[in-house]
Structure 1
Amino acid sequence: MDYHTIRPHPDLSSIVKCYWTLEVPYQNDAQRQLIVPDGCIEMIFILGDDVKRFTSGDEYIIQPRDMVLGQITEPFYVLPSGDVKSFAVRFYPYGFSNFVSISIGDLVNKETPLVSLFGNEVATALADKIRSAADTLERIELVDAFLLERLITKPTVDGIVKRTIDAIFSTKGKVSINTIVNDDSSKRRQLERKFLKEVGVSPKQLGKMIRLQSALKMLLNNHTGSLTEIAYESDYYNQAHFIKDFREFTGTTPKAFLGDEGMILSSVFYKQD
């Protein structure tokens, strides 16, 4: 498995977290891979063979080859049908809202074809150029030009949304949303509405995702402590609270996650993020 991340263009660095590439040779015994929520939205170009995404049991859809993957709030399983080769843009939670007029909440837990967001002519032209590009560097230049052309003005994410997200990331999901809004219930409801439109999930959900990321990184980077210690360091009430949140987003337990080959892809993403 060959996974790389690349820093974004300086003029996009406030809204794009990174570009990434993934290549995996075909495997006869390939297993479904769990994608763990990370609070980000991604624009993905599938350059290799088709990828299945399971919707229920053995039922699946074939992912669009050029798509935006919205916020994920539930277990999300994929399986390549052959060679994997992907190029993608990973946006910060508030980043993609700068390029579309629709509510980001409409993109949650699904793949939206680029043609549905940017129109057939524009999306098809971009996809064709990405596929015919000589290498990753050329693909990055193409995406940079595409995004910068649509970013007519400086990003204007709502101030309270940006401050809340910054607080969530800087505290690794531990900040209290009530503290941010000074225990004002009307301000909290207003903040939640803005989050659903610009981010796709509530502040509380994003906080849970980021806190889970912190705990996952401890698990994956040879943390020698017990689950109880990891839960404590990640500010969960106790081990049971940690396991409950872990299961909500992954459908499994921390111990099972570490020993499951179906978690390899998420493990690689989280170790290098």
Structure 2
Amino acid sequence: MSYREYLPCTSLRPYVDCYWFLEVNTAVTGSETPLQRCLPFGSLEIICQVNNKVCEIFNAGEKRWEISPYIYCTGLYTDTAYWRAEGGTRMFGIRIKPEGLTELFRIPVAQVLNSVVDGRDILGKDAAALCDYMTGVEETGTLVRTAETFLLSRLANVPPSQNYVREACRLIRSTNGALSVEALSNQLYISKRQLERTFKQQMGATPKTYQRMIRFRAAYRYARARQTTGLRWTDVSYESGYADQAHFIREFREFTGETPGILALNRDAFFQTLEAS
């Protein structure tokens, strides 16, 4: 399996984390990949099946596998998402910051929390057009340019505004989840209760939940960077702002269903990585 990430242009970075391209080894065409897991790192995805191969996503609510649409949006997940794909699958994704979905597409994040939605249902004819442009494209650079053109056309319609939920998201990310909700509300000059209520209405999750996701993402990044040089969970816990090692292990298990030891056993246990280029 080949996976690579690409940074967006400067104008889009406030809204988009990265683009990514995944190709399943063609040697296994006709068979399925092993079970893949995407971690809850606090982003959303718009994903296009570039060559119309079959990809299945596990519907945790209904406890069943479902064939994904050819273009779809995965919402803000608060736990691990599971998927598998047919050999030869080529997928292109746009990883969007939560507030970016609302600003670029006028879609409340709460509407797609913990769910997979057909891109045509929320993006309309634009989704179909984007998928048509990408289907059959072999050159990754062309896919990136197509995505950039699509997003920049949306950016032109984003009005300048001040939104404290958007600023809360950005403050949480900039501090790797180190800010408490109380400190966050103080910096934004609003009450803690008002922040919690409005954040939940717009994002579907509380600011505390999003803060935990971003802190977990920082801890995962720290651990991955030190797998080959010696990894101590006490260091990960301390550097990532957890109360102690037990706190970190508890959070890791809640978000992944596994203990942190899986990282030491298998560096590629989880699909989502954090290196963009």
When normalised by structure 2's length, the TM-score is 0.85
Query: Which of 62, 73, 82 is matched with 2:78 structurally?
Result: 73
The answer to whether the 8 A contact 2:262-2:269 is kept is: no
The answer to whether the 8 A contact 2:38-2:270 is kept is: no
Matches within 5 A, 1:154-169: 154=158, 156=160, 158-169=162-173
Cα-to-partner distance string for 1:65-117 (whole Å, 9 max, x where unaligned): 20111111112111112223111111122111113334211101111111101
1:124 is the counterpart of 2:128: yes
* Range moving further from structure 2, 175-184 or 19-28: 175-184
Count of aligned pairs: 270
Q: CA shift at 1:219, angstroms?
A: 1.9
> Which blocks of at least 5 consecutive residues in structure 1 are unaligned?
none
Query: Which of 31, 35, 40 is matched with 2:34 structurally?
Result: 31
Q: Evaluate the alpha carbon distance shift between residue 222 and residue 10 of structure 1 in structure 2; reply closer, same or farther with a 3 A threshold.
A: closer
Partner residue in 1 for 2:5: 5
When normalised by structure 1's length, the TM-score is 0.87
1:227 is the counterpart of 2:230: no
Aligned partners of 1:226 and 1:13: how far apart in 2?
Answer: 33
RMSD: 2.8
Q: Evaluate the alpha carbon distance shift between residue 225 and residue 118 of structure 1 in structure 2; reply closer, same or farther with a 3 A threshold.
A: closer
* Range moving further from structure 2, 126-135 or 37-46: 126-135
1:214 is the counterpart of 2:218: yes
Aligned partners of 2:233 and 2:99: how far apart in 1?
Answer: 32
Cα-to-partner distance string for 1:127-166 (whole Å, 9 max, x where unaligned): 1111144522222332223223233444546432233223
Q: Which amino acid aligns with 1:256?
A: I
Q: Which amino acid aligns with 2:42?
A: G
Cα-to-partner distance string for 1:231-268 (whole Å, 9 max, x where unaligned): 121111111111111111111110034425872423xx
Aligned partners of 1:63 and 1:225: how far apart in 2?
Answer: 37
Query: Which of 240, 260, 268 is matched with 2:246 structurally?
Result: 240
> Which blocks of at least 5 consecutive residues in structure 2 are unaligned?
none
Query: Which of 182, 186, 201 is matched with 1:182 structurally?
Result: 186
Question: % of aligned pairs identical?
Answer: 29
Q: Which amino acid aligns with 1:9?
A: C
Partner residue in 1 for 2:55: 51
Partner residue in 1 for 2:15: 15
Aligned partners of 2:136 and 2:56: how far apart in 1?
Answer: 24
